[in-house]
Chains A and B, each alone.
Chain A
Amino acid sequence: MNVHLKQFNEATRAITPDFPYRRWMQNALKGYEQTRAATESRYSDLEAARRGAAQIKWDAIEHLDTYLEEFVRNLEAHGTKVCWARDAEEARRYILDVCRKHKAKSIVKSKCMTSEEIHLNELLEAEGFEVVESDLGEFIVQLLKEPPYHFVFPAMHLKRDRISQVFHDRLGSEQSDDPEELTMIARRVLRQKYVEADIGFSGANFGIAETGMISITENEGNARLATSLPKVHIALMGIEKVIPKLEHLALFLQMLATAGTGQALSCYNSVISGPRRSDEPDGPEELHVVLLDNCRTALLADPEQRDALRCIRCGACLNTCPIFKNIGGHTYGTTYQGPIGSVITPHLRGLQEWKHLSYASSLCGACTATCPVKIDLHHHLLRNRRNAVDDAPAFSEKSMFKAFALAMRHPGLYRLAGKLARPFLWLSRPLQGTLLDPVRKWRRTRELPVPARQTFKDYWEARRK
């Protein structure tokens, strides 16, 4: 069994019987559902807005080459340095070089999932740099040495006593059960970090081709600070984040906030089009934008599933997913959790190693129904399953379907199988879930219905007489 599947199974088995924890998680997301519904009700035509947003993202993805070139041309025209990184290694090397060139000691980061994807913190720390996550949730999980639990709410699984404890242990602060006090502890610590940091690091929610800007959405102001005070700003973004026009943000920023957190608009929505200009009082002297491929072009090459590159990482599919709500974020073992993570991880990191995520779904379609850019998420899970089987068919499944096909083609055989199956099912009932059960894995948690006394065919014929 592959290690990712093993980890997934173990984590699932640990978390599913923990009812209080699951209930707590579901309650935490209930507030989101209510605020989101209230905000959505203010839209004049939400469905048309989703269709429009979907359309613009389709255009962006289907003309990605043109928009990327335009984006980079405009970035460079305003003094930004651009790195095209084919994979994680190239991105890491470039970022490391910039840090070394500036003889940096400390780097203050605002939330960036793409940097989790390339394991940037581990590298920079190993190279002796001080790396500080400044988003409160990211700061907390960094102190705990945990990966983010949810790509929008990284610390949503932690209760206040746990947060208070880690602050006490790592920062020497007084214990507190007041969220405001806990936030202020982090504020005090991080204030100093912004002022001292040599490099500010951020992600980007969108790249605007027409004007050469990166757009950053946040609530705390940490990205604003990290991109204002340090002398150098490095931004890392996936190549799929480019959209055609600046005005398109009027739609996307509002939909991102509504779908992601239920807000009408997130607190700070900033676009940055370069380092400090000569007539401006402050800002970084250098801006580096690192464009990351890391298998995105492989996903783009799939005419069925390139759809998934339209994702704006709002996290709404996680918040509404019954699987996510019950197994939690760490169980996935991926950078991107939930339905979108299950769809794209097999493309980014290997289909056979990650196909199990596509089976961890009830296919209820809540993700597709909630996606602000209308990604066909639950059908992509089915497509992943199909591709995984086509790619490496499992012997047992293959033989089962062969036998089934044979029986369906030969009525006599079908009848015989039906007759034999009945006593066999009866006889196997005591073996259910035991080591002697050939389909133990499946029957361990499922009970087959009691077989009917006669076949339908026999019943029908008896009735007609």
Chain B
Amino acid sequence: MNGRDTILPHVRKALAAKTCESVRGAEEPMPDAEAFRAWLPAVGRDYKSHKRLFAEHATALRTDFRVVADREAMLDEITRLAKAEGWKKVGSHGGALTDAASNATALPICRTDDGYDVGDLESCDAGISACEALIAQTGSVLITSRSSGGRALSILPPHHVVLAKREQMLPDMVAGYAMLREKYGGTYPSLVSFITGPSRTGDVERILVLGAHGPKKLTVLLMES
């Protein structure tokens, strides 16, 4: 007999006895995601306040958050970053913005979407990727394996650079999930991840250290037009 045919009947049998009222309390209606908004941290109504909140979180999280006016300014910023940090190779993936950005560095590129070698990606100084959204409420970057060059690009190189557009700024996680649902319907990408700051740990005496296993640096470039 397989486990399924024992466990499920066990569960049903266990649930045949109703939960004690004294423990359960009054049954309230199941809240929907809209209700969460009245409970979780407030986010403000417009793009300006969302951007401000994201910047606030970025400072606390030590995310390097830079707002750039347009495409040209973004490419300049990438070039400056590459030079300042002495990058020798970048990882990236196909896409109008990511192609332009990785080409702007004039460095060798490891593109994850045409079959890559893990060692090659590991030796990149930065991974440049697009994202699904930015989440103001928590200062997070929302990525998926489809929109951001697969699973490893955003976690393996020591510096993750995210390219985002103004319309990708969303107020909260509820909006993030709603966006994913609308975009992907029944078939989600195999990985969906909220990235909130550079990799961190507090496992040595509860003292914060960045870059435990994932990127030590996270740069978010927000293009306003």
Contacts and interface: CB of A to CB of B under 8 A. Distances in A.
> Do A and B assemble together?
yes
Interface of A: 28, 31-32, 42-46, 48-49, 51-52, 55-56, 58-59, 62-65, 68-69, 72, 78, 83-86, 90, 134-137, 140, 153-156, 158-160, 163, 179-180, 182-184, 186-187, 190-191, 195, 211, 213, 219-222, 224-225, 227-229, 239, 244-251, 253-254, 261, 263-277, 279-283, 291, 293, 297-298, 300-301, 303-307, 376, 379
A184 B151 CA distance: 23
Nearest to B32: A247
Interface residues of B, number: 88
Nearest to A276: B190
B221 to A, nearest CB: 20
A19 B85 CA distance: 48
B7 interface: yes
A305 B93 CA distance: 51
Interface in B59-101: 93
A211 B7 CA distance: 21
Contacts of B180: 246
B200 A220 contact: yes
Contacts of A249: 173, 177
Given A56-B30, A62-B15, A282 B40 contact: no
A297 B188 CA distance: 31
A86 B3 contact: yes
Contact of A68 (B6, B8, B13, B215): B8
Contacts of A28: 205-206
A219 B38 CA distance: 27
6 contacts: A62-B19, A64-B11, A78-B190, A273-B190, A300-B11, A303-B23
Contacts of A58: 19, 24
Nearest to B119: A195
A268 B212 CA distance: 12
A300 B177 contact: no
Contacts, number: 297
Contact of A183 (B20, B138, B139, B204): B204
Contact of A250 (B13, B14, B150, B172): B172
Contact of B155 (A46, A221, A275, A305): A221
A55 B11 contact: no
A154 B201 CA distance: 12
B23 A293 contact: no
A85 B93 CA distance: 40
A322 to B, nearest CB: 19
A211 B2 CA distance: 24
Contacts of B2: 84
Contacts of B172: 250
Contact of B205 (A45, A179, A293, A300): A179
Contacts of A273: 188-192
A190 B176 CA distance: 32
Q: Kindly name the residue among B35, B202, B204 whose own CB sees the greatest number of chain A CB atoms within 10 A.
A: B204
A303 B7 contact: no
Given A28-B206, A225-B155, A269 B193 contact: yes
A180 B205 CA distance: 11
Contact of B10 (A187, A248, A293): A293
Given A159-B205, A279-B146, A251 B15 contact: no
A303 to B, nearest CB: 5
A244 B39 CA distance: 20
A291 B139 CA distance: 33
A458 to B, nearest CB: 42
Contacts of A266: 196
B8 A280 contact: no
A143 to B, nearest CB: 13
B177 A281 contact: no
Contacts of A265: 138-140, 194, 196
B15 A219 contact: no
B33 A250 contact: yes
Interface stretch (B44-52, B109-117, B161-169): B109-117
Contacts of B220: none
Contact of A221 (B24, B57, B189, B214): B214
B145 A267 contact: no
A269 B196 contact: yes
Given A44-B39, A64-B11, A254-B40, A195 B118 contact: yes
B127 interface: no
Nearest to A58: B24
A246 to B, nearest CB: 6
A269 to B, nearest CB: 4
Q: Kindly name the residue among A42, A227, A274, A282 whose own CB sees the greatest number of chain B CB atoms within 10 A.
A: A282
Contacts of A90: 3
Contacts of B114: 281
A168 B39 CA distance: 48
B178 A84 contact: no
Q: Kindly name the residue among B22, B24, B190 whose own CB sees the greatest number of chain A CB atoms within 10 A.
A: B190
Contact of B203 (A140, A190, A245, A275): A140
Given A48-B39, A183-B201, A297-B14, A134 B213 contact: yes
A267 B197 contact: yes
